[in-house]
Amino acid sequence: MKNIVLFGPPGAGKGTQAKKIVEKYGFVHLSTGDMFRNELKNNTPVGQKAKAYMDKGELVPDSVILEMVENFIKNNMNDKGFIFDGFPRTLPQAEGLDEIITRHDTAINGMIEIFVNDEEIINRITKRAEIEGREDDKNVEVIENRINVYNREKDSVKEYYQKQNKYYKIDGIGTIDEIFERLCNIIDTI
């Protein structure tokens, strides 16, 4: 099994790349953002709890996330592995993920940061708002808050993986295929 964490600010292209990675490697895709949007659409208690945070661009509390992730992993165990997209986003989430994944007799092979600067991110999210119509992409203040939250938590998550020699970084500017190739070069060797 190979388990990979895709890390990067909102709009870095994690979701797009995760889908391509799933096609090539057969991993199971775990996106906490997609999970919350789904819960919200179905108006579940988790969705109702998450809504207030998502609307403001704040992070949903770690306890809510970890329980949801644990259930997902339990129900989607497979031979190939998982690609984690938008999770973990905080140090307690990274620690929690290790606990969960160890309980399932496997480990994280690497965390790959897709690096994109803040200015480019704002441009991309504004464009995505026109195409996908995501509520949290439409408001500039919410977008800025999501970037600030990411920048606030980023170093602690990065250091957690650096200490384990599991941190990798790629340039997130380029075509979808160029970025995919950069990711595959790392995934193939870890």
Q: Which residues of the chain form contacts with ligand AMP (CB under 6 A)?
A: 10, 32-33, 36, 53-54, 57-60, 65, 86-87, 89, 93, 136, 146
Q: Which amino acid is at 125?
A: I
- Which of residues 3 and 93 has its CB atom nearest to ligand AMP in the complex? 93
Which residue has the closest beta carbon to ligand AMP?
Answer: 33
What 3 state SS string does 10-28 have?
A: CCCCHHHHHHHHHHHHCCE
Residue 3 φ/ψ, nearest 5 degrees? -120, 120
CB of 86 to ligand AMP, least distance (A): 3
- Which of residues 13 and 81 has its CB atom nearest to ligand AMP in the complex? 13
- Positions of E strands within the chain: 2-7, 28-31, 81-85, 110-115, 167-171
Of 37, 134, 154, 158, the active-site residue reads 134
- Which of residues 25 and 53 has its CB atom nearest to ligand AMP in the complex? 53
Residues 33 and 16: their CA atoms lie apart, in Å, by: 13
Residues 113 and 78: their CA atoms lie apart, in Å, by: 24
Instruction: Reply yes or no on whether 14 is catalytic.
Output: yes
CB of 112 to ligand AMP, least distance (A): 16
* 58: number of Cβ within 10 Å: 13
Instruction: Reply yes or no on whether 89 is catalytic.
Output: yes
CB of 188 to ligand AMP, least distance (A): 26
Instruction: Reply yes or no on whether 182 is catalytic.
Output: no
Residue 11 φ/ψ, nearest 5 degrees? 85, 5
CB of 117 to ligand AMP, least distance (A): 17
Of 20, 128, 158, 169, the active-site residue reads 128
- Which of residues 55 and 181 has its CB atom nearest to ligand AMP in the complex? 55
Sole residue written with tokens 């990065």? 158
Give the residue numbers annotated as catalytic, written as ranges. 14, 89, 128, 134, 146
